[in-house]
Structure 1
Amino acid sequence: MAKKSANANLHKAKIEKKDEFYTQLKDIANELKHYKNHFKNKVVYCNCDDPLASNFFKYFFLNFKYLGLKELITTCYKSQNFREFSAEDSPKKILRD
């Protein structure tokens, strides 16, 4: 019985179709702060389900200048909720489907 209650939140998410579990932005920042020098003048490629929901993409997007990135590229599956980024959105790249 204890095992069943321990997974109650997962079962609830399955029923509600909330089955996406993303790495938290604070966890990404806490780990990648140790590698700042490795990102200077580098291209970061994020293969993600949705760049607007990906905390990895969000981290690199928000820290583009701080990390000294050369480019940030993302690919994703084009869903019904997809919108293209504009030049104002991205510091370097316009993302296309």
Structure 2
Amino acid sequence: MNEIARFIQASKKWKAATRPPGPKGTPVMGVMRDFNRDSLGFIERSQRDYGDIVWMRFLYVPALFLYHPDEIEYVLAVNPKNFIKSMSLRSNFF
């Protein structure tokens, strides 16, 4: 079983103690300001600083970033029906 599947099985709630590490951001904006300032640099720093699975929040929307090819393949190709994609992601809103 891969790392993302273990994480999801271990915790059904987004409690700070159980979610993957990630940048804190501000209470209202989350990481939106830093992301908008330098999107590519922000993404590169988040992987370097926090690893292959990074949790962050854009405004009030939690997001899990996967950087390792095996984890990305698991979510997109091997087991896509078990992962909910928000309407904004499906419609290219972000």
Give the TM-score normalised by structure 2: 0.28
Q: Which has the larger radius of gyration?
A: 1
